[in-house]
Amino acid sequence: MAQQDKNNKQNNNNPNNDDKGFFNNPILVFVVFSIVSIMVFKTLFPQDDMNANSAAGSYGQQQKTISYSDLKTLINNGSIDYVGIGPTTIKATGKAMGGESIAYKVRRVVPDETLIPALEAKGIAYGGFSEENLLGDMLFGWVLPILIFFLIWSFLAKRMAKSMGGGILGMGGSKKMINSEKPKVKFEDMAGNKEAKEEVTEIVDFLKSPDRYVNLGAQIPKGVLLVGPPGTGKTLLAKAVAGEADVEFLSVTGSSFIEMFVGVGASRVRDLFEQAKKVAPAIIFIDEIDAIGKSRASGGISGNDEREQTLNQLLAEMDGFDSSGAPVIVLAATNRPEILDPALLRPGRFDRQVLVDKPDLEGRMEILNVHIKGVKIAKDVDLREVATMTAGLAGADLANIINEAALLAGRANKEEVSPSHFKEAVERQIAGLEKKSRRISPKEREIVAYHESGHAVMAEVTKGAKKVNKVSIVPRGLAALGYTLNTPEENKYLMQKHELIAEVDVLLGGRAAEQVFIGEISTGAGNDLERATEIIKAMASVYGMSDVAGLMVLSRQTNQFLGGGHVSKDYSDKLAEDLDLHIKTTLNERYQHVLATLEEYKEAMEIMTRELLDIEVITGERVREIIKQTGKEIYEGGDLHQDGTNNL
């Protein structure tokens, strides 16, 4: 307590304390001083322009304020020598008595038409005067409003500076945009991504025992770049590093460096590193660094814009680190590493890249076990089944699924979260919200049922296809009138040629089913055809799986985590024409194969469609039972329904 009182006293005596007193505000002091000076000046040195013959108001003269009636009495008695008439005031000079004249000041009564005749009758000189005070008018009419304006501006600017990080209107400083803390997060709080945690463990060791590395002559990486898809825990991993090392964690987003004013970003970078050095050992974490680290070779309107200056300052600051003192390590996160400037990635800066990827099956199990803490789940909940259904989802998606399952149980007034709640949460995450209120006609329900049955059958009888988990004709999301949920049996990082062909066959199964069993196709297969076309095109132009382009790569995806990217056409028109013909021919061949397969499984399709129309939802196990009870086989190995004549 004594130490706290001492600190409080020091804070109160600190001249740099934000709660500045009256005398520390020069504008306020100047305004008050000006007002007081004007009042004193007007009192001691009135500037009335009276007649030169009048001694009224002159220095050393006795002054007296009287009433208007008394003034008229003095005029009638002949005791007045001169009268000065102003708009609101009358000033008169009395005759000398004992060698000293008297100045009278009277509040004028308006109108009074008897005053001038009375003065002329007594032969008293009179005149007018202006009551304006030039100095006072100038100060009160011009200087004071300007000072008041600057006072208000200074107050608002100070408030904005505090809220935006210092400097004029918040420019230049970075205190408010930096989140400085000592995280309590540990590695055990971050499930999955074991390899990523192993990569950053040596950073923790260096922050804890820097002398051991320095004595050996080793240099720890000054910057570590965390790359990976959104939601995989890059920020959480950075906090875990700081938590394990028990050091200060200064986090900031890349976009907060950029302002419309040139030079602000560079100033904020300097301020950030200065703050980090003061609290070292420390970790600086820059989230979404691609906002300021974009390659300068990409061009733009100006070659020396604000973003480029900010990047240059960041490069200079990282070069200026001195590892011999208290260490400061920079961590950064991005899901667009391909657009970063090469100067950022050279040795001595972000020379180490750690991939924080989507978790595998075991990683998803660990993440689910972490987020399930505090959630009341039923005993029959199988988290491994949930993890299997969520292949390809990131940690943030899994956390959302658990929360959504708990919300569903709460809405149903249940005391525990059951497996059905988890399954519904997974479907919401993958396919969207169930639209029970969306009414569709019986004819459309029949089309959707055949369409989804076609997808399901092709998935079960085709080599390399993902097995069916659930088939539904309940509308979900924005436009889906039904869906078939396929889940892989294991994590896949590579896809072979036959697996890509199988995916195309499954996509074409919906349209083929409509043609075989309805006799007419609908618009429901539009997205399926688009995805199938993209797969065949990628096989020929990216993966070298066709004879059209051979091993030539005709296009490429520039963003491996977000998808998409710029694709330039750098091949001949003849090759483009051959590629288009190849895509068209291959799709037609695969479609004919799917039509023949569904004709063969016609009985299973009819049974499956009738059940969907009755109960709307069937499981993957039921799909496989229906196929087997019709005497047909599902794919369980071998080359069932996967011909070898498909030379792409």
Catalytic residue among 199, 317, 366, 452: 452
Q: Does residue 181 carry a catalytic annotation?
A: no
Determine phi and psi for 491, rounding to 5 degrees. Answer: -70, 135
Asked if residue 495 lies in contact with residue 545, where contact means CB atoms within 8 angstroms, the answer is no
Q: Which of 432, 522, 524, 429 is nearest to 478 (CA)?
A: 432
Residue tagged 């009160």 (tokens): 140
Helix (H, G, I), strand (E, B), or coil: what is residue 523? helix
Helix axes 497-513, 573-600, angle to 10 degrees: 60
* Largest interatomic CA distance in the chain: 143
Instruction: Give me the amino acid identity at 511.
Output: R
Residue tagged 């909940």 (tokens): 381
Three-state secondary structure string covering 159-214: HHHHHHCCCHHHCCCCCCCCEEECCCCCHHHCCCCHHHHHHHHHHHHHHHCHHHHH
Which pair of tokens denotes residue 564?
């998409």
Asked if residue 427 lies in contact with residue 485, where contact means CB atoms within 8 angstroms, the answer is yes
Helix (H, G, I), strand (E, B), or coil: what is residue 129? coil
Whole-angstrom distance, CA of residue 198 vs CA of residue 193: 9
Exposure string for 305-338, b = 16+ CB within 10 A, e = fewer = ebbbbbbbbbbebbeebebeebbbbbbbbbbbbe
Helix (H, G, I), strand (E, B), or coil: what is residue 19? coil
DSSP state at residue 96: P
Q: Which of 324, 219, 321, 237 is nearest to 276 (CA)?
A: 321
Exposure string for 523-554, b = 16+ CB within 10 A, e = fewer = ebbeebeeebbebbbbbbbeeebbebbeeeeb
Helix (H, G, I), strand (E, B), or coil: what is residue 63? strand
| Residues known to be catalytic | 452
